Amino acid sequence: MSVLLQISDPHFGTEQAPVVAALQALVAAQRPDLLVLSGDITQRARPAQFRTARALMDQLGAPLLAIPGNHDIPLFDLWARLRHPYARHCAAFGPELEPVFRSPELLVIGVNTTRAYRHQDGEISAAQVDRVAGLLAQASAAQLRVVVVHQPIAVVRAVDEPNRLHGHAQAQRAWAAAGADLVLGGHIHLPYVAALSGLARPMWAVQAGTAVSSRVRSGVPNSVNLLRWPAEDGQCRVEQWDFASAAGAFECARLTQIQPSRESHGD
C-alpha cells in the first residue's frame, strides 16, 4: 500500500509552531511515500519564507511534489511578478513547475494553475488539459491517477464559486475520460471530498484545508489529507486529519472510501 500526504496552503510566514510540530510527528508516524505540497507554500513569496518551507520539507524526509499557489508569486514586487514570477519558488523547489511522480502504485501529476496576471484566480489552458490527459492515458491499471492543482476544480459552497478554476469544465471532462481518479486542490482552506457528476467515468475532487497557518476559516481547523492506495477491496482511503489543539496533535477526523473505476479506460 502507498501513502500520500497532501499538505496545502501552509502560508509560511504565518505558520504556528505547535501545528508544525504536530505535522512533523504525523509524518514520523505515518511515513508517507509521497508529500504533495499543493500551493500557497508562502504568505508573500519572500525568500526567507521559501527557505523555511524547504527546510521543513527536507526534515520530513519523504519524496516531494510541489506546485506554486497564487501567494507564491511576488505581490508587491511588480518587476519580479511580471518578469520572473516563479524565480523564488524555483530556487527553493527546483525548476519544474508541473512535476510528475511515478511509482508502481501512484501516478501524480502537478499542474501550475497560477498566472502572474491574475491576483487570486486560477486558470487551466487547453495545452495543460491535453498534457495531463496524455500522461493519464499512459497510466497502468495498478496506479492511482491523481492530478494536483491549487485552486479547486469543484466547490461545494456558493460562496466559493468565484474561486473555482477557469477552465474547470473542460479539464473535468478531459481528465475523467483519460482515467483520472482524484483531483487534489487547496486555496480556499476548506477540506472536503466531492464526487463529480456528468463525466465519462467517476472522478473526485479532494480539497485540503490549511496545514499549519493561522489563516484558518471560521470553525475549520488546520488539516491535511492522507491517501492510502490500494486499501481493502481495491478502494482508496481518503483520510482528513485535523489539528486538535487540546491534544497538540493531528487526529483522523473523517474517512472517505473511494472505489476507482477502471472499466472505461481500457485497462
Domain coordinates of the chain in residue numbers? 2-262
Cα 174 to chain centroid distance, Å, stands at 19
Residues 6 or more apart whose CB falls under 8 angstroms from that of 224 comprise 5, 6, 7, 8, 23, 26, 208, 209, 211, 240, 241, 250
Give CA–CA dist 54/267, Å, rounded: 38
- 225 forms bridges with which residues in the sheet? 6, 240
- Which residues of the chain, if any, have pLDDT below 70? 77-82, 263-267
What pLDDT is recorded for position 117?
Answer: 75
Residues in the chain: 267
Cα 50 to chain centroid distance, Å, stands at 17
Give the Cα-Cα-Cα angle 11, 154, 108 (nearest 5 degrees). 65
Question: One-letter amino acid identity for 58?
Answer: D
Burial of 240 (0-12, 13-18, 19+ CB in 10 A): buried
SS3 (DSSP) at 56: helix
| Grid cell in block for residue 181 | 481518479
What pLDDT is recorded for position 38?
Answer: 98
What pLDDT is recorded for position 233?
Answer: 82
| Grid cell in block for residue 13 | 510566514
- 184 forms bridges with which residues in the sheet? 148, 206
Burial of 167 (0-12, 13-18, 19+ CB in 10 A): middle
Which of the listed CATH numbers 3.40.50.2300, 3.60.21.10, 3.40.50.720, 3.40.50.10140 matches domain 2-262? 3.60.21.10
SS3 (DSSP) at 231: coil
